[in-house]
Structure 1
Amino acid sequence: GVRVNAVNPTLVYTPFTAGMQDQPELVAKFNERIPMGRGAQPDDISGVIAFLASEDARFVTGVNLPVDGGVSASNGQPKLS
């Protein structure tokens, strides 16, 4: 009855990444590589965690779920101009 899942986020805007957020050029480089064009907000990640912990996900186990705005579905390279 034990389920084990993992959430693999991209850049998440939290106090932990505050120093990075103060560098607009660095954030822009990250955003170029994220198909959704932005880093995650904590709510973007917590909703997925809540789902995995819920009864709705009762038959989900052994999953490494990317919550990365499409980075893992792309080649991770910036768009060509």
Structure 2
Amino acid sequence: MKGIQYIVDETGEKTAVVIDLKEWGQLWNEFYQNLLDRSPVNEDWINRSPFREKLDQALPWNANHPPQLSDLESLESKLENYE
């Protein structure tokens, strides 16, 4: 489909989609608004300020800082010295 690209994993299974917003932006906005309208009330806070702004900053940071194993002994030592 023109303006739609799929990202697939090593087995060929579709895992994500890239949508050309110039071509499909209006339809995407309608779809996204529909998702928001169907969100449970207890999840509504995720889409409100200031949490939304913090989330918008945290997601790119997370993408650029992959998880690492923690040296718990070193952390424990630092905490003991801090007290």
- The question of a shared fold, defined as TM-score above 0.5 by the shorter chain, is answered with no
Q: TM-score, normalised by structure 2?
A: 0.25
Q: TM-score, normalised by structure 1?
A: 0.25
Q: Which has the larger radius of gyration?
A: 2
